[in-house]
């Protein structure tokens, strides 16, 4: 069981009457995560993840991995350092590389601290023993750090110089089967973002420096977003303004009800063709036994960015609010204050709850705020700011003779006074809902409304 007294959570303490000089524009998520001690700035554009936020990060990683495996993905790990010679072969070294970190080893050989791994994984395949068409499609993914020397790193984890990313690469025998891979991974992305229950939009996008013939972006709509999107309020269609240049009517339903909104890009998919496989010599043996270039796709998700952007969408100025599947803990249990008149009898109920709630949601999902030197009010205020989905308070009302009640506080402000059995029923319902989300048991129409995504012809 997790005890609040043992959690390393170095919250920022601002002295009373202190004048705080704001040197940069802070997003809501960045301020809350920093003030509450969930992340710390390591240097300009880099962040240290503290234990509570790491729990959320690990949950997202597990969720992403389960969806990638359902899409036929196999996990690998590639070196962070990629020889710049590979980027020269594909022509990308000749483009704008001002955002990339370049390093040299002691012999003078140049490397990129990889912002992405198309060249690295294609070269890996090219140097593997001849691959037969029977071994394709191949869908390989990894989760690891990426690096970009952002000119304006801002909004905490949303635009950082070092960030965590899931990148998958597909290899197919033809354009037709590559589109099948693209569809399979896209479906996995749709499912993942529906599981998170944060409204998102999926838009046609420009291929940019990545290249290829087809591209889609996934966005959370937020005022701090850096992308300009055009959204139809009639049918839900959305597109990137880079692709939709000054449209007067919706390309999907012809409605004129178009709004411009800001979006935070959280994922991107590309159908690459042979842009990388041909210059790097990544081939397979076709049915005639002759080498032929593999057809590729690549698919990224900004892991740390999803966390920050979801909090940006959901949270208030004062309190975090997590997607249910990403909340660091499901339940926070607050017992009576030390030395209070109700301490002894209330602790009997508290201990019963620790056992019963732990069985319902799992002991690792229960946080026991055992800091009884603090008042219930102070602990409750912190629990609300940290955004636990359910906070149960065992106070004076819990030992009333006629009608003992527990206080159950919901993330977002609502409060109920319930007896023990009603409280446990609420915890069970929360756990059931999480299991349904993990299994993908949500209504298709609800997912469509949440995503406001449009089915594109691939």
The domain spans of the chain are: 53-314, 329-439
**Using CA atoms, how far apart are residues 448 and 458, in angstroms rounded to an integer?**
18
Q: What mean pLDDT comes out for the span 335-358?
A: 95
Query: Are 66 and 134 spatial neighbours (Cβ–Cβ below 8 Å)?
Result: no
Residue 19 has pLDDT above 90, yes or no: no
Domain 329-439 in CATH 2.60.40.740: no
DSSP string covering 158-226, please? GB-SEEEEEEEEEEESSHHHHHHHHHHHHHHHHHHHHHHT---EEEE---GGG--SEEEEEEEE-TT-S
Joined together, the tokens standing for residue 364 give: 């690792």
pLDDT band for position 114 (cuts 50, 70, 90)? very high
Fold of 53-314: BirA Bifunctional Protein; domain 2 (3.30.930)
Q: Is the pTM of this model over 0.95?
A: no
Q: 9 vs 129, which has greater pLDDT?
A: 9
User: Quick check: do 53-314 and 329-439 share a fold?
Assistant: no
Residue 453 has pLDDT above 50, yes or no: no
pLDDT band for position 235 (cuts 50, 70, 90)? confident
Residue 300 has pLDDT above 60, yes or no: yes
Q: 456 vs 45, which has greater pLDDT?
A: 45
Q: What mean pLDDT comes out for the span 199-227?
A: 83
How much is the pLDDT for 236? 79
pLDDT band for position 430 (cuts 50, 70, 90)? very high
């Amino acid at each position: 069981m997790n005890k609040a007294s043992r959690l390393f959570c170095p919250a920022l303490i601002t002295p009373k009457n202190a004048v705080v000089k704001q040197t940069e524009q802070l997003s809501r998520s960045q301020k809350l995560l920093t003030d509450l001690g969930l992340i710390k700035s390591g240097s300009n554009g880099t962040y240290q993840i503290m234990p509570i936020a790491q729990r959320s990060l690990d949950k997202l990683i597990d969720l992403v991995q389960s969806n990638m495996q359902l899409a036929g993905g196999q996990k690998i790990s590639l070196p962070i350092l990629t020889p710049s010679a590979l980027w020269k072969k594909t022509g990308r070294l000749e483009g704008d590389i001002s955002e990339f970190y370049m390093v040299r080893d002691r012999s003078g050989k140049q490397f990129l601290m990889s912002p992405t791994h198309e060249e690295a994984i294609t070269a890996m395949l090219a140097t593997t023993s001849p691959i037969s068409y029977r071994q394709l499609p191949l869908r390989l993914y990894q989760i690891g750090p990426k690096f970009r020397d952002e000119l304006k790193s801002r909004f905490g984890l949303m635009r950082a110089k070092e960030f965590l990313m899931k990148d998958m690469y597909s290899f197919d025998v033809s354009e037709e089967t590559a589109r099948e891979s693209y569809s399979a991974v896209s479906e996995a992305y749709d499912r993942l973002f529906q599981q998170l229950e944060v409204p998102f939009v999926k838009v046609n996008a420009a291929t940019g420096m990545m290249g290829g013939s087809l591209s889609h972006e996934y966005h959370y709509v937020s005022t701090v977003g850096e992308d300009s999107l055009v959204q139809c309020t009639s049918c839900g269609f959305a597109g990137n303004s880079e692709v939709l240049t000054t449209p007067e009517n919706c390309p999907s339903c012809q409605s004129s009800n178009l709004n411009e909104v800001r979006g935070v890009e959280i994922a991107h998919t590309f159908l690459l063709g042979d842009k990388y496989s041909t210059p790097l010599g990544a081939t397979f043996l076709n049915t005639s036994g002759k080498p032929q270039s593999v057809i590729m796709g690549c698919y990224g998700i900004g892991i740390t960015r999803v966390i920050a952007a979801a909090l940006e969408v959901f949270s208030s100025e004062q309190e975090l609010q997590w997607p249910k599947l990403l909340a660091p803990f499901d339940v926070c249990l607050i017992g009576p204050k030390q030395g209070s008149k109700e301490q002894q009898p209330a602790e009997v109920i508290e201990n019963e709850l620790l056992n019963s709630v732990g069985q319902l949601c799992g002991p690792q999902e229960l946080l026991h705020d055992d800091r009884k030197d603090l008042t219930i009010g102070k602990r409750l205020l912190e629990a609300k700011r940290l955004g636990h989905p359910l906070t149960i308070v065992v106070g004076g009302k819990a030992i009333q003779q006629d009608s003992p009640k527990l206080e159950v506080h919901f993330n977002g402000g609502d409060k109920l006074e319930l007896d023990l059995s009603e409280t446990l029923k609420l915890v069970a319902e929360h756990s059931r809902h999480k299991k349904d989300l993990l299994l993908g048991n949500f209504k298709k129409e609800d997912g469509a409304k949440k995503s406001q995504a449009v089915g594109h012809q691939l």
